[in-house]
Amino acid sequence: MPRPVAVVTGASRGIGRAIALRLSSGYDIVAVARASGELDTLTREIEGRGGSCRPRVADVTDVAAVQGALGDVDADVLVNNAGVGALKPMLELTRDEWRRMVDVNFNALYDVTRIVLPRMMRRRSGHVVMIGSIAGRGAFVGGSCYAATKHAVSAFAECLMLEVRDEGVKVSVVNPGSVATHFSDRSSDESWKLAPEAVADAVASVLETPPNVLIHRLEVRTLTVPHKR
Between 35 and 121, CB nearer to ligand NAP: 35
Contacts with ligand NAP by CB under 6 A lie at 9-16, 33-35, 38, 59-61, 81-85, 104, 131, 133, 176, 178-179, 181-184
CB of 178 to ligand NAP, least distance (A): 4
Q: Are 90 and 145 in contact (CB under 8 A)?
A: yes
Name the catalytic one among 27, 106, 146, 183: 146
Q: Is the dihedral of CA 129, 88, 187, 60 positive or negative?
A: positive
CA pair distance 151, 17, nearest whole angstrom: 24
Q: Are 113 and 154 in contact (CB under 8 A)?
A: no
146 is known as an active-site residue: yes
Between 35 and 102, CB nearer to ligand NAP: 35
Between 14 and 51, CB nearer to ligand NAP: 14
Between 121 and 218, CB nearer to ligand NAP: 218
- Nearby residues of 84 by Cβ (< 8 Å), 6 or more positions away: 100, 101, 104, 105, 183
CB of 138 to ligand NAP, least distance (A): 12
CB of 48 to ligand NAP, least distance (A): 20
- Nearby residues of 107 by Cβ (< 8 Å), 6 or more positions away: 61
56 three-class SS: strand
Query: For 131-159, b where at least 16 C-beta lie within 10 A, e where not — what string?
Result: bbbbbbeeeeebbbbbbbbbbbbbebbee
CB of 52 to ligand NAP, least distance (A): 19
Task: Write out the catalytic residue numbers.
Answer: 146
